[in-house]
Chains A and B, each alone.
Chain A
Amino acid sequence: MTAPPPDDCLARNDWICGDYLSTRRQILLDAVVQHLQLTVISVALGLVIAVPLALLARRRRWTVGPVLGITTVLYTIPSLAMFSLLLPVYGLSATLVVVGLALYSLTLLVRNLLAGLDGVPAEAKEAARGMGYGPTRQLLAIELPLAVPAAMAGLRIATVSAVALTTVGAIVGYGGLGNLIYAGMNSFFKAQVLTASVLCVIIAVVFDLLLLGAERLLTPWRRAGHRARRRTRAGEGVKRLVTVGGRRT
């Protein structure tokens, strides 16, 4: 006599399933860790490349066109194609996904850094010069801090998109939670697909809030400012969103 099949949510293949969470906790945890690593390293790499590029573009005005042009062209390439184009260089590795995502974040970071640096009021720079600040001290103490809000807007968008895009890395086996979605698709495992998708969105939201908190800590003078300033900023926010363009897929 054979035992009847267990009547739990895993056997029924429900979308929402508590048993899935408890039995596959380790798999989920590993996927989340991989997802976080891929996202954080790629955005950090993008930032490390973007800051010198933006500073160069500002120092030598003629480089602005080429820098913005090349990063924008890179941003146009679909993610599946980007990861595949890097395949001969990096093979099936995590590096491939990291480099691909870093290239995407470059566009957003360079654009916003430049906008932030260009937005530094001339009076602030003149005041610094009047106080005897050299070019380096002026950059570090005046211009970069004042560029933080615009740069952070780019960083937040870049990070949130990187979290979503990492899932496509499943095509080469390094997609973090995307791996679970890919495997779940092939085996019609609904609970796994839904759980992994929801975790992706949660990670994106948490990163966004953390960066928002960091921005507030880095710009204490903005909190001291009054409502009047905030009102003008609200209008800027909408404009910036449009210049940044669409999301990556």
Chain B
Amino acid sequence: MSIDALATLSNRTAVDFDTDATIDEARRQLEICNACRYCEGYCSVFPAMTLHRAFSDGEITQLANLCHNCRGCYYACQYTAPHEFDHNLPRALAEVRVESWERFIWPRGVATLFQKSGVALAGALAAGIVVILVMAYALRPESGEGFYAVISHTVMATLFTLTSFLPLAIISVGVWRYWRHVGGDRVTLKHLSDALVDAGRLKNLSGGAAEGCNYEKEDRYTMARRWAHQAVMWGFVLCFAATVSGTVLHYGFGIEAPYGPLTLPKIFGIPGGILMTIGGIGLIGLKLRAEKSLGAPAVWGGEMAFVLLLTATAATGLALYGATGTAGVRPLLIAHLGAVFALYLTLPYTKMVHVPFRFAALVRDAQTRKA
């Protein structure tokens, strides 16, 4: 199915935020910032903002996805409540951001369910485990070594190919619609490399000249969120590399799991899993301490469930390795695959979409940045 065809599946091809109260509130606040500009050193949102005098819906959506919710601008703001300007830019942008994801991703409404409700996501996890359990017993292979004594490799591969293709296709369409909405230009290698560097360093959580963000200790700066996120992000990249290398070993060389400690899947997977688990636990702790009203409070539960799911996926993967050769393999494999299954299937509808959307926003920012 082509991207265009998928896009027309959606009931709304052109997204129109005109009457949207969330966008209007963000616009009101951005206009105050644009007259003030005290915060221009914190992140890329402010330099991008000052390129405009009036803000179209697309520009606001772009700024919202560029915002890293570091909260520096909130604690520095002379106009926060009880001031009558009632300024809270991190929240206004967080709400636009989540709404933009919900609207760009097909089908609408599903995202609302998972973004807003941790219970729904926990339900997905439970369902994932049940599915894997049923598979494991119904399709128990006649023969097979190691992991594949629990579930045959073909079943596993088919299942994951299916469940990963659809979410990725849906997300691609969503991002493509985002790109059109924010007026993105032709992407060059330079734009991509700029965006990759910004994302890789998570530059916008550095606070500019400050030492980090104001996420969990009110107006004090810390690097904790940046480091925790780096751990999750790079851990995820490593785990992904582990999966790819495993696939190559399996199909290219006929070497089947479980892999020994000095094979690529393990060399990538173990540090990756450890980083993701530690980082995930870090993010959970930070999220519990941070002030909810400076993000989008309506999706706090869904976000928390997402981080938990991500962390659980990594942790069960690690535990599975640790349990090699013990009776723990069977339940851990089922739990791990269930988590992976739930994570993948809900991919377009959870906070996971922040990855492509924010990356697109960084690419767009690289395009508009002043020389």
Q: Do A and B assemble together?
A: no
List chain A positions with a Cβ less than 8 A from chain B.
Answer: none
User: Chain B residues in contact with chain A, CB under 8 A?
Assistant: none
